[in-house]
Amino acid sequence: MELEVKSLGGTSAGSITVSDEIFGLEPRTDLIHRVVRWQLAKRQAGTHKTLGRSEVTGTTKKFVRQKGTGGARHGNRKVPQFRGGGRAFGPVVRDHAHDLPKKVRALGLRHALSSKAKSAKLIVLDDAKAGEAKTKAVREQLAKLGLSNALVIDGAEIDANFGLAARNIPSIDVLPIAGINVYDIVRRDTLVLTKAAVTALEERFK
């Protein structure tokens, strides 16, 4: 598969041949969905907690006599029926992460990349560098490319000026190639890869 390479200014900068095994697959939404669920579950804090019956402060003494009150029979103030009592079957601190095979995660990433390529939402840049950390200048450059909601993936390191300028622009994310993931690809409208990122991806899936 051959893709056009553009400069940050919006002009053409040649073309690049990419692997069909990475960018030319028929996208499977079920695989992408599995990986996204795995990512979100893994990052969920799981710190939600309520006090159970054994954890609240209160007396265990029988506070009403067994018969003659006209009410229910109670022997403990800490039961869930009473205000301030323990929660029945409440949430507890736990890890929400679940296992997902490494091959499925890698395949999900390839299908996410292929889905962007198939829907013409993939742009390859010559490089992503800025002369100075000015948000206005970078915003204007991205506007020439028609980008208002995008994920920009660079090589091993992000250009410092470009990263500083782009982080102030809403709906624009910038990540190094090590941080590429299915969820961030899916949540943004357009995927922007530099030539260094494409090379790194092809080496990774070789």
**Tens digit of each residue's pLDDT, the chain (206 residues):** 899 999 988 888 899 999 999 999 999 999 999 999 999 999 999 999 999 999 999 888 898 899 999 989 988 899 999 999 999 999 999 999 999 999 999 999 999 999 999 999 999 999 999 989 999 999 999 999 999 999 999 999 999 999 999 999 999 999 999 999 999 999 999 999 999 999 999 999 98
Confidence (pLDDT) at 61: 87
Domain range for 68: 50-90
Q: Same domain, yes or no, for 103 and 168?
A: yes
CATH value at residue 194: 3.40.1370.10
Same domain, yes or no, for 54 and 132?
Answer: no
Structure tokens given for 159: 């250009």
Q: Answer yes or no: do 72 and 39 share one domain.
A: no
Are 86 and 138 within one domain?
A: no
DSSP state of 166: H
> Do residues 105 and 146 share a domain?
yes
Give the pLDDT confidence score for residue 40 in this predicted structure: 97
What confidence score (pLDDT) does residue 206 get?
Answer: 82
Regarding whether 104 and 145 lie in a shared domain, the answer is yes
Give the end of a domain, one of 65, 90, 115: 90
CA 32, 166, 13, 110: dihedral to nearest 10 degrees?
-10
CA 125 to CA 129: how far, in whole Å?
A: 10
- Verify that 61 and 128 share a domain, yes or no: no
Does residue 141 sit in the same domain as residue 196? yes
Residue among 145, 167, 149 nearest 158 (CA): 167
8 A C-beta contact, residue 145 and residue 119: no
Tokens of 196: 């260094």
- What's the pLDDT score for residue 143? 93
Please indicate, yes or no, whether residues 128 and 147 belong to a single structural domain of this protein: yes
- Let me know whether 31 and 67 are in one domain: no
Same domain assignment for residues 126 and 83: no
| Same domain assignment for residues 157 and 84 | no
How many domains is the chain partitioned into structurally?
A: 2
